[in-house]
Each structure stands twice: as C-alpha cells, then as structure tokens.
Structure 1
Amino acid sequence: MLHTSCPSDPPTVRAAHPEELASLSWWSTLQSVEQEQVAAHLEVLSLASGSAACQAGTTAAHWLGLLDGLLSLSSPALPGLASGLANGAWWGEPELLRHGTYRDNATALRPCLLARLPAPHFEALLRQSLAFSHHVLGQLNQQLSHERDIRQQERERSLGPDRRVALCLAELFDPLRCPGVGSLLRITQQELAQLAGLSRQRVNQALQQLQQTEVLRIEYGGLRVLDRTRLH
C-alpha cells in the first residue's frame, strides 16, 4: 500500500499510457505477449511532493519505477544519508526476490509519476523472459555498486561538501541507475541541497566549482553533465 502525506486525498491510479510503456528501459526486452501482460497490470500513480513512494518495513508488494520526477531514498539504518532517484529509475528487486519488506524510504521531492508492477507479475516476467532476467541482474549489480557508494559516503562524512554534491550528481547521472535522465538533469539547487544534506548556498558554491572545472554546466532549470566520470 502506498502512503501519502494526505490520507484523505489518495493518489490517482491509472493504467500506463502507450508512450510511457515504450519509454521503459526494459520494455524492448519483452516479447509481445509479455508486453501485453505488463500493459494490463502496470499502474501509474501521481504523487504529491512529500508523499511516500514506499516506506521501510512495509511489505514489498510491487516493483517500483519513477517515470518522471525526483525521489529521495534513505535507509533507517543510515540516518542522515540520502541518495536520489530520477527519471527511469527502478528499485525493490532484492526485497521482492526475498519476499520481504522494503529497506528504504522513498519520498517525492516534487510531484512525481510512479509506476508499480505487482510482485506476482514481476516474478512471472523473471520466469518467462531470459532477457528481462538479464536486465534485472544488471539492476542488482548496479544496486550493489550503489550500496558500496553509500558505505563510502558513510566513511567520508568528514569530507568536504564539494565531494558530497559530486557523489549525489554521479548517482543521478548514472545511465544504469537513472536511464531517463541523459545529459541534462532537471533539478533545483534546493532539491540537490536536500539530497546532499547541505544548505542551498553551499550547493551553489560546489556547482560553481564543478562548472569552472568543466565537469558540468549550469543551465536554466537544470544541470548538464560534460564529463560524468569526473563526478566520482
């Protein structure tokens, strides 16, 4: 069950539009009959800013994806640390495979479009489609890498804010983690400050430094990465 910040105003749930299905990074791995199954069961929810896409400790009943927007992902086990999820990101595979509970809290930093596929249909795709299974395996490998980065951030709490901002951006520009972002990330400095745990003014200073060294370019309404490898 998805919880929102306003229980009296539940999120709008609808079927996915054809263009939304076609935009899924794993859509092309499916055979036509499998695409029909996904189209019949994939749900799209409109989330208000501040709403929860999932909550740690609740039953993992869906595979979750972000069609549009920006989410903060945080674990109760690592208070004070958060990572970002942007367009095209999917998560929840380990929890679904274990038939367990979500490990993280995912919170909308702005109005978002969330996609969710019920666990039985996710498991059916794994059984039916070798190509989809390979895609999910790639997702799991990427998540292991992300968890190593989170542990690194835990060790590097004492490092400067420039490094924290760069690591946040590296996650959001990662084409495997957030394949819908591309080279231009739509994000405000306030949103980036929330993810990095810094003031907006300090984030601005870090971005100016990254721009001066030609790692990225600050554009109206977002950031364009020029050399993604130098964010790590």
Structure 2
Amino acid sequence: MRADPQIARAMSAHGWFHELAPAHQAHVLARVRLQHFAAGEVLAHRKAPTEDWIGVHTGLVKLAVYNAAGDSCTFSGVPAGGWFGEGSVLKRELRRYDVIALRASDAIFLPVDDFHFLLDHSLPFSGFVIRQLNERMGEFIAAIQNQRLLSVEGQVAAALSQLFNPQLYPFTAQRLELSQEELGLLTGLSRQRVNRALRELERLQLLRLAYNRIEVLDLERLRAYAQRQI
C-alpha cells in the first residue's frame, strides 16, 4: 500500500526516520498518523493509557500536571522536531502528564506496539531511543535544579537554552517564534516576570526581542549566564 504523501513528507523531516532500513520506514509510514491540534487542545491526557509515542511536527506543546485547584507544574516544552514519552511507552504505563498544545500544532503518533516492534528489530532506532532517554533525563534534572537555584533571569535563560538541544529538538532555529506568554507557560513564571527577565537578557546582548519572536544572539553566552548562577 502506498504511503499517504502528507505523512511521508512529514516523516522525511525527522532524522531518526532516515536511519531506519527501507522495510522499517515502510512499516512506520503505514502505521503513523498525523493530527492537527488548536492552541489549548489536549493531545494526550494524564492517567490515560499510553497508546502512542508522540512527535511534534509543527508548533509547540507542553508536558504538565494540574491539581484539583487548577495549579500546574510544567515539566517541559517540546517544540517542532521533538519526540517524547519514551519512558511511558516502554513501560506501557498510564501517561504521567497532560500534553497540551500552546499554539496550533501538528503532531505525529506512532502506536505503542509499533514502537516496540522497531525497538526489537531496528538497531538504529534502539540507539536513537537510548540517546533520547539520556538527554531527557539530563533535561529533567536540569529543570529541577534551575527552578530551585536560579534567579528569574537564570530560569528564562536556561529554558531558552534547553530548546536548542540538538538531540531532543533538532528543528530549533536561532530565531524562536515564541511569545512571552508561551515562555511563561513553559517556565511557570508570570508574563510580567518573563518580560523583565527578557529585557535584562536583551540588555546583556544575549538576545533580541521582537513581536512574538526571540532571537538568540549568542547561545553559548546564554547557557553560560544560566550556569554561572549555580
């Protein structure tokens, strides 16, 4: 059966797909689905069975939990190019967080059984998943550390820097199409505090601000700024 052209184009943008053998590429193209979500829409619910490994093709999503009062804790933001949920897929457990679109987004879903098929039969895919898990662990440890030890400016600098992880988020460009409100949702900070932090980082010539856009001028200095505070 011939693959859907739209799905084939979407998958061709993701590096791990090109590492697969042709037969495994065909398997993926026959099984994945591409779905559009409006801003604020839920891609996957916390405590629901984990049925898919999810990739963000376009847009931006966040992984978060909410309590009964509506307070939230954001674990991570995932921009276009990022894939997530390997741990829950591997263990076939209930999902541990809500996945919410922060803007209009297109997501790719690979069913859990097909994820395990690739893991069992494709060495390149297994290698990719191991690297993902290693980088994700580092990201979560850094997020806890940053929240507890960094100033607001440091937290914003660290959050921006994390979006440039080439293993987790290979699509990220120097000019981030990211609003201050979205950055606030990723960091758990108010828009006002994010605005003040960004102005300070701009004053230090680490970034340049425009409408709904943040241009990182010196990524290494931005990372170093956050690390110096620890």
TM-score range, shorter chain: 0.7 to 0.9
Structure 1's unaligned 5+ residue stretches are: 1-13
Structure 2 counterparts to residues 63-102 of structure 1, below 5 A: 63-75=53-65, 79-102=72-95
1:147-189 Cα offsets, whole Å, 9 max, x none, are: 2023214433xx4321221122122222222111132211111
Please say if 1:144 is aligned against 2:127: no
| 1:197 paired residue among 169, 188, 191 | 188
Q: Which residue of 2 aligns with 1:107?
A: 100
Q: What is the letter of the counterpart of residue 23 of structure 2?
A: V
1:6 matched to which residue of 2? none
Q: For residues 73 and 27 of structure 1, do their structure 2 counterparts lie closer, same or farther at Cα, with a shift above 3 Å needed?
A: same
Paired positions, count: 217
Return the letter of the residue paired with 1:225: V
1:57 is displaced (CA, Å) by 1.2
Partner of 2:18: 28
| CA distance 1:16–1:103, shift in 2 (3 Å) | farther
Q: Distance in 2 between matches of 1:96 and 1:196?
A: 26
Partner of 1:45, secondary structure, is strand
1:92-122 per-position Cα deviation (integer Å, ceiling 9, x unaligned): 1111111111112111111110110001111
C-alpha distance in 2 between matches for 1:15 and 1:201: 44
TM-score by length of 2: 0.86
Looking at structure 2, the residues matched to 28 and 148 of structure 1 have their Cα atoms a distance apart, in angstroms, of 30
Q: Name the structure where helix makes up a greater proportion of residues.
A: 2
Residue 41 of structure 2 corresponds to which residue in structure 1? 51
Deviation readout 1:189-224 (Å, 9 max, x if unpaired): 111122223332332221122222232222454222
Question: Could you give the per-residue CA deviations for residues 47-79 of structure 1, whole angstroms, max 9, x where no partner exists?
Answer: 111111122211111000100111121245995
Letter in 2 for 1:180: F
Q: Which residue is 1:226 aligned to?
A: 217
- The partner residue of 2:176 within 161, 171, 185 is 185
Q: Once the two structures are aligned, what percentage of the paired residues are identical?
A: 31
TM-score by length of 1: 0.85
Q: How far apart are the structure 2 equivalents of 1:97 and 1:15?
A: 29
Find the aligned partners of 1:217 and 1:129 in 2 and give their Cα distance.
43
3-state SS, counterpart of residue 146 of structure 1: helix
The whole-number CA distance in structure 2 between the counterparts of 1:184 and 1:208 is: 16
SS in structure 2 of the partner of residue 80 of structure 1: strand
Aligned CA-pair RMSD: 2.1
